[in-house]
Amino acid sequence: MATLAIALLLGLFAMSDIAVGIFQDDGHYLILARALALGDGYRYTNLPGAPAGTHFPPGFPLLLAPLWWMVPRFPANVVFFKLVNVGLMPVAALAIRAFARRVGGLSALAASLLAIVCMATVPMLFLNGLLFSETAFIAALCGTLILAESVAASPQVSVRRVLLAGLSVGALGLLRTVGLAVLPALFMVLALDRRWRHALLLAIAALVPLLPWQVWTALHAHGVPLSIVGGYGSYSTWLVDAYRSGGPAFAAAVLRENLDGLRMPLTLFGLMDAPGWAQLLAAIPMVGFLGVGLRLLWSRARVSVLVLPPYLALLLAWPFPPDRFLWPLWPLLVLAMVLGARSLGWGEVVGVQWRRPVRAVAAALVVLFGVWHARTWPTRNWERGERANARMGVAAASVAAALPRDGLVASDMDAMVHLYAGRPAVPLLALTAEQHVRVRTDEEVASQLAGVLDAYHPRWVLVTERESLRAAKVLARRGRLHLTGADPSGVLVYDVSR
């Protein structure tokens, strides 16, 4: 009850009054949820032709859809949608607590403390304050791993439980695709134990929720133009094309960028801007504790340990900042570090002469973590970027609402323009894999914007971001765009030449 109550307070603390749609993902979740609630299918009704939604798996929009049906007036219903993650915070905390107890073997008090610490971490508060799926995914991941470990632990487990585990893994993949890492992990454990019948049943059950989604994405893989596939299309085509065109040099650049991004947890200890030697002094014991903890977990939670290789491989290969993938693993990593520190500092793993230094290092890390968070919580610094984006998005929506209704709008705040101005809107520069590793040239961004103009023929282009401005300037010099106005907030309005 204490865990639940504190987590609920953390959820309320994380909640903000910031507009929805500032990071595109949250706006797209709402657009898809509304389409489901209104009976339009799983489609992007903000785009001309309402193409099928193949970018995000449908788990989180399905969770939001009933709420949109019950409270349909936007933006008055935004507060109710934000309460979803407030309610999910205690669910995730209880799931982490159960995972730490059953899988990690922690005491009730230690498991509760670990759950609260994980959910009170600033990135968790940041993600929970947005309409993102991470909190739901953490709860589902912990629950699925508990079930998977119970299946892996007993050869005499019932067929019903194996099928339930397979269905859970498939459903987890519909919440976030990266959750499918649990499937090869559990399959491998069953295969190592020569439980082939259980492994086959697991795979078949996992396909039950996954197969319809795969068929849907295959049928509608080319439903949106190439110029916006990074924001609205299937990730599989987008990723394959990026690696095919970029070759080994691109793969090496993505790996290098994402390995550097794995330093992000040092931020939680106030060390992200510290000298390299200070970061190394903190990273070495953290990695040591993690390694020892994972070794201890191997004897009692093989599935949870085997989840990490495929999960981390995807994290390192994906051309996107790795923190969005890393934080859902945070409870598992913290549990492993706690087990490792306890074993080294209070167990029999090292000699008596080393235990006090280990305890001192662990205590120093705890102090750094606590001090940084105590300084950061009152300032709510994690909301600065959100609020700046929200101001620009609301301004773009206001400008779009004032434009004549007889033409299509293209904007780099297309989700907010659609939701808050109530008119169709297409994106300017959807995400590309290349921009993760280098700054694209003016010609490259202009070419992408030209592709949007050719595909959708918008009447106006609203620019709020620097990269979009570079593209617009190039096309303006070519006579395709004409600057016709500028809002005091910084929104530029271009007229598209006919």
Residue 75 class from Cβ within 10 Å (0-12 exposed, 13-18 middle, 19+ buried)? Answer: middle
CA dist 253 and 482 (Å) reads 37
Using CA atoms in the order 351, 356, 357, 359, what is the torsion angle rounded to 10 degrees?
A: 110
Alpha helices per DSSP H over 103-180: 108-120, 122-129, 134-153, 159-175
Residue type, 495: D
pTM (predicted TM-score)? 0.95
pLDDT at 11: 97
Instruction: Write down the residue that tokens 């610490």 correspond to.
Output: 117
Residue 158, number of CB atoms within 10 A of its CB: 10
- pLDDT, averaged in runs of 10, over the chain (498 residues): 97 94 91 96 96 95 95 93 96 98 94 97 95 96 97 94 97 95 96 95 96 94 91 87 91 95 93 92 95 94 96 93 91 96 84 86 96 95 90 95 94 95 94 91 95 96 95 95 92 90
- In order, the DSSP letters of 466-482 are HHHHHHHHHHHHTTSEE
pLDDT at 239: 87
pLDDT at 346: 86
Here the tokens at position 29 are: 């979740």
Strand-pair partners of 493: 462, 485
Please check whether residue 162 is in contact with residue 201, taking contact to mean a CB–CB distance below 8 angstroms: yes
Residue type, 236: S
pLDDT at 355: 86
Using CA atoms in the order 314, 93, 298, 370, what is the torsion angle rounded to 10 degrees?
A: 90
Residue type, 114: L
Please check whether residue 20 is in contact with residue 124, taking contact to mean a CB–CB distance below 8 angstroms: no
CA dist 105 and 108 (Å) reads 9
CA dist 449 and 429 (Å) reads 6
pLDDT at 113: 97
CA dist 182 and 137 (Å) reads 13
Q: Which helix (H) or strand (E) holds 485?
A: strand 481-486
Residue 255, number of CB atoms within 10 A of its CB: 13
φ/ψ of 96, rounded to 5, equals: -65, -40
Best CA proximity match to 170, nearest among 151, 189, 144, 188: 144
pLDDT at 493: 96
